[in-house]
Structure 1
Amino acid sequence: MTVVMIVVWQTHIALALLFFFFFIIIEGAFMTSLLNKLVQGGWVPFAISAIFIIITLTWTFGRSKKAQYEATWVVDHNKFEKLVTSTTRVPGICFFCTDLINGVPPIVCHYAELIGSIRKVTVFVTVRTLPVRSVLPSERFNIGKLGPTGVYRCLVQFGYMDIHTMEGDEFTRSVVTAFIDAAENQEEKEMLNAAVLDGVVFVLGRVILKMTEKHRCIKKFLINNLYRFLQKNFRSNVATLKIPPRKQLQVGMLYEI
């Protein structure tokens, strides 16, 4: 909490230290009393803390392995451009939600190869919560155009007090307006306007990690059992965006690491 006060809230360091010493006195007294009665039941808070530490470390370990896999198997630019040009382009706009900020994640190729088509306008959306109270509307969207025609990237930024939502037509219209403002020609603007009228779909990638037999039993248990259990029960950033269920499409992929 002291670090949050200094870094995020930018509280004066004197007030942060005052809070720290006040809290450490209370916590120190509580910790000392537990150590004096460890056998009589003082071990229970330590056991609870150990459980939470295991959960936290497992989640961090799993997320790091997922990031390493996507960084290793990120789709090559030329390969992705060939995939887009050789795939049927259907009318409409698709928001593909992904955690990967740079590059194209492998689940995109998995989706395109299985479905056999992609929308004329495909936007890779990554949601990021910044350590600020609120993000200005002008800084909400960080957009960019990828190589193939009609394929874009959009980084959506929220503050921790902002309302995270993609519900209704306001989000779609805001993103498309940002792309239109940055469009290079009139043909691209017409394509974007037509895509909104042809329908919108949000594709949510669902990744499952699996440790191969070459790894140790502890790592396999952490990823194949504990981390997978946490994945099934956690709530992602995308889940907080209130995307209309009738416009959602979930695509799953197994990452063997």
Structure 2
Amino acid sequence: MYHATTGTAVVIVMLVTPLLMTLIMLLVWHCHWILVLIFIGLSLAVECTYISAVLFKVDQGGWVPLVIAAAFLVIMYVWHYGTVKRYEFEMHSKVSMAWILGLGPSLGLVRVPGIGLVYTELASGVPHIFSHFITNLPAIRSVVVFVCVKYLPVYMVSEEERFLVERMGPKNFHMFRCVARYGYKDLHKKRCRNSQENCH
């Protein structure tokens, strides 16, 4: 059973590798489509031989990695679906700046000293949760920073381009947006401490 389980996992990985290599040839190296077809044909010819041999071992334990992979696939799909739906909700329910301006410089609340951080997925506009704060809290910080963390499809983002800070509304509102950008190899903590000096 052990050999059947590991054999199925290894063959699946071997099948995924040339498929990903095909994407690199097309999108990164910009190879001619004929060369890509030749590569796919040779790769699949070899891989299909291995797969046909492994299929006979599925009932002897080879089903284990398939079940595990299916479980992780379902989890990742549900997580992705929930993330997309949450972002769509924030996009459709965000508050207009005209409504914020109508509240006045104090935003209709008592402004107490300090910096209030509001996390949001939006890189533009005012999130709906902020209107919830205004209608349910008796006071709010004198400086409000909307923090948005974005992951870019790049290796690393330089420190000079890490944080994008912009003012929201008039100067006396003391409202800012901080967009923190990270690459897939960046080590980070989800905070905007390094740019808080720009928010005064």
Q: Same fold (TM over 0.5)?
A: yes
TM-score by length of 2: 0.68
Which of 69, 73, 78 matches 2:89? 69
Deviations 1:84-124 (A, max 9, x none): 52111111112222112221221122233332222111111
8 Å CA contact 1:2, 1:20 repeated in 2: no
Deviations 1:136-170 (A, max 9, x none): 22211222211151001111112222220367xxx
Match of 2:55 in 1: 35
Which structure has more RCO (C-alpha within 8 Å, separation ≥ 6)? 1
Match of 1:100 in 2: 122
Q: Superposed, which structure 2 residues align to 1:211-230 within 5 Å?
A: none
Asked if 1:110 corresponds to 2:127, the answer is no
Residues 26 and 122 of structure 1: CA distance in aligned 2, closer, same or farther (over 3 Å): farther
Match of 1:78 in 2: 98
- State the AA in 2 paired with 1:159: G
Asked if 1:2 corresponds to 2:24, the answer is no
When the two structures are aligned, how many residues end up with a matched partner?
Answer: 173
User: How far off is 1:31 after superposition?
Assistant: 3.1
User: How far off is 1:61 after superposition?
Assistant: 1.6
Deviations 1:24-53 (A, max 9, x none): 677645533332233333333322222122
Match of 2:178 in 1: 154
TM-score by length of 1: 0.55
- State the AA in 2 paired with 1:73: S
User: How far off is 1:3 after superposition?
Assistant: 7.2
Match of 1:186 in 2: none
Q: Superposed, which structure 2 residues align to 1:149-228 within 5 Å?
A: 149-165=173-189, 172=193, 174-179=194-199, 192=200
Match of 1:49 in 2: 69
CA distance in 2, matches of 1:155, 1:104: 13
Structure 1 stretches of 4+ with a deviation exceeding 4 A read: 3-8, 10-14, 19-30
8 Å CA contact 2:165, 2:177 repeated in 1: yes
Residues 97 and 38 of structure 1: CA distance in aligned 2, closer, same or farther (over 3 Å): same
The structure with the larger Rg is: 2
Tell me the SS of whatever aligns to 2:113.
Answer: strand
Deviations 1:151-196 (A, max 9, x none): 01111112222220367xxx53x313445xxxxxxxxxxxx1xxxx
Match of 1:227 in 2: none
8 Å CA contact 2:169, 2:175 repeated in 1: yes
RMSD: 3.3
Greater fraction of residues in strand: 1
CA distance in 1, matches of 2:22, 2:61: 32
8 Å CA contact 1:134, 1:160 repeated in 2: yes
- State the AA in 1 paired with 2:62: G
Asked if 1:128 corresponds to 2:153, the answer is no
CA distance in 1, matches of 2:144, 2:52: 58
Unaligned runs of 5+ in 2: 1-19
Residues 91 and 2 of structure 1: CA distance in aligned 2, closer, same or farther (over 3 Å): farther
8 Å CA contact 2:147, 2:177 repeated in 1: yes
CA distance in 1, matches of 2:26, 2:119: 29
